Structure 1
Amino acid sequence: MTAKQFQAAIDRLGLSQVGAARLLGADPRTARRWALGERSVPEPVAILLRLMVAGKIAADDIETHRRS
């Protein structure tokens, strides 16, 4: 996933970079670096975002799972 694709995915999901970082369990600086192309987006993050954009996984499902 490119930086542009990452930013487009979180935009489509209505997430800020900070919100995406919280949801993904990452530091906000890391999400910013993904969005700027300073760091590669890890494949598991890319897969999860693609599934979320496709409507296969909801943010609430992730939050619920992280709390258990």
Structure 2
Amino acid sequence: MTLQKNRRPAPMTPEDFRDALERLGQTPASLAKLIGVDVRTARRWSTGAKPIPDSVAAQIAALVEAGVVTPELVAEIEATRNDTSAEPQIARFIWVQRKDEDPYWTIAEHDLIADVFYLPGRLERFTADELVLGAVITPPAA
């Protein structure tokens, strides 16, 4: 991936995705299991049938930077994902700005299961690629 003038990485292409798989010694199915997405989704990313979200591209870049996916790393990721000590988070609130000509920031609800964002006063759903993502809003301590 190359950097653009605004210092955001360029979107991950299917070629970048396949190169990352090769460097990590993974298949689309094994990487899907590792990062917790549907196998069909990862296969669509590798063919270009579905765009790769920036958040996933960042995860993959971090894995590539870390090097080979070791059994210890897989176990650590799975332990984190399978941690049942805390109630699983299904939604969160996050500051977002639409990438079109809207200059305003607003708070969106991020559905973590469907990986879509709901903006106030709008019926349509947005993907991470359509938004500039800001800080996650954490609830105050009880």
Q: TM-score, normalised by structure 1?
A: 0.85
Deviation string 1:13-56 (CA, Å, 9 cap, x unpaired) is 11111101111211111111000001111111100110111118
Any gaps of 5 or more consecutive residues in structure 1?
Answer: none
1:24 and 2:24 correspond: no
1:66 and 2:81 correspond: yes
1:41 and 2:49 correspond: no
What's the offset of the Cα at 1:62? 2.1
AA aligned opposite 1:20: L
AA aligned opposite 2:78: E
1:2 and 2:13 correspond: yes
AA aligned opposite 2:56: V
Q: TM-score, normalised by structure 2?
A: 0.44
What's the offset of the Cα at 1:67? 1.6
Q: 1:51 aligns with which of 55, 62, 65?
A: 62
Q: What value does the CA root-mean-square deviation take over the aligned residues? A: 1.6
User: Among the aligned pairs, what percent are the same residue?
Assistant: 37
Whole-Å separation in 2 of the counterparts to 1:62 and 1:43: 20
Larger-Rg structure: 2
Higher RCO (C-alpha under 8 Å, 6+ residues apart): 1
1:13 and 2:24 correspond: yes
The alignment of Structure 1 onto Structure 2 pairs a total of residues equal to: 67
Runs of 4+ displaced beyond 6 Å: none
Query: SS at 1:41's partner residue?
Result: coil
Whole-Å separation in 2 of the counterparts to 1:4 and 1:40: 12
